[in-house]
Structure 1
Amino acid sequence: MARAVQLKKRIHSIFQLNGFTVRGEASDFLLDNLKALNEAEREDWLEKINDFCLKQPLSSPVIEKSLVEAAILDSCKSEVDDEEQLLTVISAYEVPRFKYQIDRKKYLPLNDRCELFCEPSVKGTLFKDRYTLLYQRTLRNKLFYNAANDTTQFKLRPVEFLLSTSSKVENVVLLGLLTQLKEGKFYLEDPTGIIQLDLSETNYHDGLFADSCFVLAEGTYQDEVFSNSSVSRVYYGSANAFGGPSRESLRNSERMKKIERKMTETMFVFITECWLDQPKILEKLGVLFRGYVHSPPTAFVLMGNFLSCPKGSQHPSALKEAFTNLGELIAQSQELVSSTKFIIVSGPNDSPAANILPRPSLPDLLVSGLKSRVPNVILATNPCRIQYCTLEIVVIREDLVTKLCRNSIHFPATKNVSSHFAKTIISQAHLSPLPLNVCPVYWEFDAALHLYPCPDVVVVGDQHKAFSEFYNNCHVVNPGSFSKGEFAFKVYYPATNEFEDCQVPD
């Protein structure tokens, strides 16, 4: 009897730690089902049930018997069924949108419907939302936190503060959008106003700073001109929805972490630019697929372009034939057909849609020859997101490194371009911190390009040479061109959170 009372107290205490209250009927049901188990098994089951309840859209914190029954049924699924749900590919058009509420100091979900062709006012909102995201995170940095009560700390000022003063102001720090409103003249803009910048004696920190980037600027204001002495990166934290079927973030799911650590042979293979109209490339892909027959990867992520050059009016038919050839090649390795997912991300020349991000997935008609032979094909948008257990992976096929270098107002003295690129996109919390005329974006779907909070992996399919950088606990990786880069590709091992450089021998 004492043992039953002790177990009942344990049930209530575990649920209370997660903010739940258990009804008596649900508590008795749990007691009947758990009393025959040993202590370790009980704890494991209570953890699974709690994990299930946290993911549900509950209207109240009261746990009913029906919810406990559903949790037990869900936890009783076989491990094979579990593994089917470990990998989720999230469309760019399904990425959840949030808006920061300044008065409540938190992000709240936006449930309004997005449109590709929206009102002109949305363009201004796009940059204002990016600013708000960076501003509220910057204020939480130790350099600015509690600055009002500590004279040794920096204080972040709005532009209107400088516009309202006629005297000289030194050591002022601003956060704003770097923009060129007149030829050869740069300005800093925030929601309160615009101020001209004098960049002649600027000291730049690491990064690639292009028009439309947000920067932290420290300097002196006098005679309506801000003399800039440093441009610095912005800092970010972690806590937000990544997208996918789960209503709660999976990052802290102990159950998923255990599965992730246990599945040590799981791997993702990332390949950029597979020219399927070139016999030499198909030959090397055949060698690659045969090499993985005895240890099939969880997924191949294949990024375009899938043809070596545009084919004009014959492009769709050539692309369809190319994917049919790919299907025949994969079908020769039945282990891959049955065990591996093939995620297809189109390149700039593949999609018949406009060259605006995010781009839709390839039409089924173009890939019908591949899908008829390989059932586990996923046609992804560009960019797309991949949730694997607790890991968050963002994939984009775009020549972002090249575009950022070309449009940067100052090229860094150190030539490690990949390091500067990684710091730029992570600090900007955006995949494409570029002017909209350089890299167009559908205004209402800009959230699909946000990197907030910072994911675990960002894979950028770029024609720039391959690289792997680790910044702010995030891997920023470019597999490089498979067709032009000596058949190189990248392999990611989630269990150890490591990337491996690989190559098909010539």
Structure 2
Amino acid sequence: MLERNALERAVKHLETCESVDRELMALMDSVGDGTLNSAVVTDEQIKNIIESTAVDRTLDEGQSTSVLVDVFRMPRLLWDPVRKTFYHGNTPNIAADASSKIDIFRQRLHIIQQRLSRHPLFSKPQFSLAEEHQEYIELKQLQSLVGDTGGRRYVLGMLVKVEDDRLFLEDFSAKFPIEIRHASMADGVYTENSIVVVEGSLRHDGVFEAVAIGMPPVEPKTVTWETFEDVDFFGAGRLSKDDREGLKLREAEDQIFVVLSDVFLEEGTTMAMLKTLFEGFNASEVPPKAFFFMGNFSRSRRPGDDMYTLKEHMGKLGKIVKGFKNLVENSTFIFMPGPDDHGMNSIIPRPPFPELFFRDLKEAAPKVMLAPNPCRLRYCAQEMVLFRQDLHVRMRRSAQAATNKNQSYFDHIMTTLLHQGHLCPAPLQGQPIHWELDHTLYLYPTPDVLVLGDNAPVTSSNHHGCVCMCPGSFSDRGTFMVYRPSTQTAETSSIPMQS
């Protein structure tokens, strides 16, 4: 129960929020977390909750140019194929029933279907003029191919394994065994659960023989925003066109973000390289806006090692950071758990580290934030997604066809993630996902920046206007990435390895 003044304050706060549902969920979670000692919520308590929530979400004091998204509070947007619009689903349940697992794949296919319905290549012209004839590809439902054997057709479906480890192509109407051995494959990594556009024909034995297979084309983010102006896909609050234009002016400021992955804090060489890193940036007139530390934070996998070892290492890191006043006062230090960090299970998304283990570090550097994996940050009008996962290994194991050698495997993975509109399209048996939190892994609309922390060499590239990067392993190679929002460029950097 809320006091009258508390209710009025909460209502006024919600009226100023860009994402009312998301902020209301945050307030309700804070009120019901068991920390209040009374059933009646006072005005002062609501004020403190609002202030603490704002601090957790922004990197700027009193500003909102940098918003760190709590993916566990992201709006769960689902596609309604009848009304052809997105709607807010129920509050995600970690212990969801089996129907939610099926909904994962239904929603992924629905979203790509509605995306392709606007693409010029797959859209039937509204007016057909002889002098301006427009070619387009008509995507057929699989069920419509029954009795239409031998004819060359285009279909959209999902690659699945149903029986005897045999590959099938499935859509909402039917499924057929698919033969892909002689098909030409466009760039990307094709695994079970991949959604694909296939050219081919249905044979008399009921097998769909593919001639060519490709990824669904990416939709420009501007088209998505224009189509769904009132939808907050990213979870950081909806921005109008005017808001975006105004925030873009702020991007001209000379700010940088530093991204590191695999920072093994128990190793003396890693600590020495971190000290060198901090020395360099501390001397800069404009220190980094933020340092992103992506796990893993320990190389060891011994059963005796636990989270308290992490607390000890973070305390040592705090002693190093404390000596660099410029960074302590002006930079934010953001920590994301890795796939093998102690205390973290293998299911994604992963929650942030517990605050308990970062108290010593926060005493040395108060501007420390703990982020989930994946992590979403909106800086001005740019949307950044960071994900720590060994996708190179997982995707290679699950690939159903060889990739061409025209581009690097990193580029194949980035192509796959952006075209699938999902951070982890690999099979669930290889990478479990919280069924009702699958929306937190969507890459729709396409973000401006995508960082994949992977046990792979440092690299960067640009795909469909998205700056993609892999910082490599800091402890093994001394590599990291620097991102400049003003120019939307990524720079590969390294610290000389300590002997």
Q: TM-score per shorter chain, which class?
A: 0.7 to 0.9
- Counterpart residue number, 1:195: 176
Measure, in 2, the Cα distance between the counterparts of 1:432 and 1:305.
18
Q: Is 1:85 aligned with 2:55?
A: no
Measure, in 1, the Cα distance between the counterparts of 2:429 and 2:113.
25
Measure, in 1, the Cα distance between the counterparts of 2:64 and 2:136.
47
Match of 1:334 among 319, 325, 331: 325
Measure, in 2, the Cα distance between the counterparts of 1:374 and 1:227.
60
Measure, in 1, the Cα distance between the counterparts of 2:156 and 2:232.
25
How many residue pairs match? The answer is: 428
Alignment of 1:339-378 (within 5 A): 339-378=330-369
- Counterpart residue number, 2:280: 291
Counterpart residue type for residue 158 of structure 1: Q
CA drift at 1:251: 8.7
Q: Deviations over 1:333-372 (max 9, x none)?
A: 0111111000100111214132100001001112222112
Alpha-carbon contact 2:77-2:88 (below 8 Å) kept: yes
Q: Is 1:232 aligned with 2:221?
A: no
When Rg is computed on C-alpha atoms for both structures, the one with the higher figure is 1
Q: Is 1:482 aligned with 2:474?
A: yes
Measure, in 2, the Cα distance between the counterparts of 1:247 and 1:397.
26
Match of 1:206 among 187, 207, 217: 187
Gaps of 5+ in 1: 1-51, 59-79
CA drift at 1:275: 0.7
Match of 1:277 among 266, 275, 283: 266
Alpha-carbon contact 1:479-1:489 (below 8 Å) kept: yes
Match of 2:450 among 458, 467, 478: 458
- Counterpart residue number, 1:497: 488
Alpha-carbon contact 1:212-1:435 (below 8 Å) kept: yes
Q: Partner of 1:182: helix, strand, or coil?
A: coil
Structure 2 CA distance for partners of 1:138 and 1:119, relative to 1, 3 Å: same
Q: Deviations over 1:439-491 (max 9, x none)?
A: 11000000000000000011010001111121111112110001112x01000
Alpha-carbon contact 2:19-2:232 (below 8 Å) kept: no
TM (normalized to structure 1)?
A: 0.80
Q: Deviations over 1:348-404 (max 9, x none)?
A: 121413210000100111222211211111100000100100000001110112211
Counterpart residue type for residue 353 of structure 2: L
Q: Is 1:99 aligned with 2:78?
A: yes
Counterpart residue type for residue 64 of structure 2: Q
Among the aligned pairs, what percent are the same residue? 29
Q: Partner of 1:476: helix, strand, or coil?
A: strand
Gaps of 5+ in 2: 1-14, 22-58, 226-230
Q: Is 1:125 aligned with 2:106?
A: no
TM (normalized to structure 2)?
A: 0.81
CA drift at 1:82: 7.3
Q: Partner of 2:79: helix, strand, or coil?
A: strand
- Counterpart residue number, 1:27: none
Q: Partner of 2:394: helix, strand, or coil?
A: helix
- Counterpart residue number, 1:268: 257
Measure, in 2, the Cα distance between the counterparts of 1:53 and 1:90.
18
Q: Is 1:411 aligned with 2:402?
A: yes
Q: Deviations over 1:61-119 (max 9, x none)?
A: xxxxxxxxxxxxxxxxxxx9777421111122122221223333332333x21111111
Match of 1:185 among 143, 152, 166: 166
Q: Is 1:143 aligned with 2:121?
A: yes
Match of 1:304 among 274, 295, 299: 295
Q: Partner of 1:297: helix, strand, or coil?
A: coil
Q: Partner of 2:106: helix, strand, or coil?
A: helix
| CA-atom RMSD in angstroms | 2.3
Q: Partner of 1:484: helix, strand, or coil?
A: helix
CA drift at 1:252: 5.1
Could you list the structure 1 runs, at least 4 aligned residues long, displaced by more than 6 angstroms after superposition. 80-83, 147-151
